Structure 1
Amino acid sequence: MDSRPQSAGLIAIIAVMNIIWWMVMIAAIGLGATHMDRCPQQPKIPVYLIVLGATSLLSLIFTYSSSGYQDGAVHILSVVCMTFLHIFSFAWLIAGSSWVYSIYPPNYSEKDQYCHKTTYQFAFVVTTLLWVAMILVILCSCCFALLTCCTTVVAGRHLLPDRKSFYGATSFHEPATGDV
């Protein structure tokens, strides 16, 4: 784990984002539980919100517990649980997306036929934001990987040994006056 000191601004941004995510996931659980029987068009949307909120909160709890312990059984157990929860959450996001997007656009004029308006809109917005965030993370990761590869290739020509230098030299070898 990296033990460099972090700036106060970065810590504040992370804390605010965590608080916002906690509130959104608690709202997802609340909306899903409150309107469990008020979505006849797609009754799985409230269940999707409850499970999405619960798994996200559990994942945050395991993240906090694993960062408190650098090694040992607690850290390993937390990492294993987080990995399982992330894989499950991704699969659950795919399932929830099919449920949420399958009834788009909803017709709110027929009150008893479609989902509760706030519940559906919340599920739609959260699902869309999760996909956007995931795409941004993937794009940033690809850009970082490409930058790392390019930097390694450019630096690689200076790191390759030749017959006149020792392995790992980073400067060019000036030929001696007697060398041909």
Structure 2
Amino acid sequence: MVTGVKYLEDCPKEPRIPVYLLVGGCFGIIKLLSSLWRNIQTRRNRDVISDDPDSDGAFSSSTYRTMDALLFVFLFGWHIAGTYWAFNIWTPHFDQLLYEPSNWCDKTVYMFTVYQLCTCYVVMAAFLLVLLVFMCFQKCCCR
């Protein structure tokens, strides 16, 4: 989010890249704080809520689940859009050119975006790999 704000005007080749960082950071923080708030409230009210195991009070309400799902879908789509925007201008000019003043992107904002996107894809791939290994282990060993 901070990088997006700091370099908001420093990528005329693809001006949506700093906006991608800014908006993604804001909505990511909202999702993180929402999840954190829900976990704190659930732990705090665990003993207060009735003995019904399906009851989680207001913290499992359809409104919260809908908001959480919408935030996830938005962030997922925003991540795909950011991937397209960043890799569509692969290795732009990092310095402003005299004869093409709009054909550049600041190296810091561009490389930060590329590293952030690549890190997200590596983490997702590692998660899927671990999940696949656990599924294979369960299928092979639990027969």
Does TM-score exceed 0.5, indicating one fold?
A: yes
Tell me if 1:33 matches 2:5: yes
Distance 1:109 1:50, change over 3 A: closer
Q: After the TM superposition, which residues 88-167 of structure 1 pair with which residues of structure 2 at under 5 Å, given as runs?
A: 88-111=74-97, 112=101, 113-152=103-142, 154=143
Q: Which runs of 5+ in 1 are unaligned?
A: 1-28, 155-180
Which structure's relative contact order is higher, taking Cα pairs within 8 Å and 6+ residues apart?
2
Match of 2:70 in 1: 84
Partner amino acid, structure 2, of 1:104:
W
Q: Which runs of 5+ in 2 are unaligned?
A: 43-55
Distance 1:139 1:36, change over 3 A: same
Equivalent pair of 2:5/2:22 in contact (CA under 8 Å): yes
Identical residues among aligned pairs (%): 28
Q: Secondary structure at the match of 2:93?
A: coil
Alpha-carbon distance, 1:116 to partner:
1.4
Alpha-carbon distance, 1:142 to partner:
1.5
2-structure distance, mates of 1:66, 1:96: 28
2-structure distance, mates of 1:78, 1:66: 9
Larger Rg: 1
Q: Secondary structure at the match of 1:137?
A: helix
Distance 1:148 1:80, change over 3 A: farther
Structure 1 length normalisation: TM-score?
Answer: 0.63
Q: Deviations over 1:112-168 (max 9, x none)?
A: 42111111111111111011111111111111122222233x2xxxxxxxxxxxxxx
Equivalent pair of 1:48/1:96 in contact (CA under 8 Å): yes
Q: Secondary structure at the match of 1:69?
A: helix
Match of 1:72 in 2: 57
Task: Please identify runs of 4+ aligned residues in structure 1 that moved more than 6 A.
Answer: none
Tell me if 1:46 matches 2:36: no
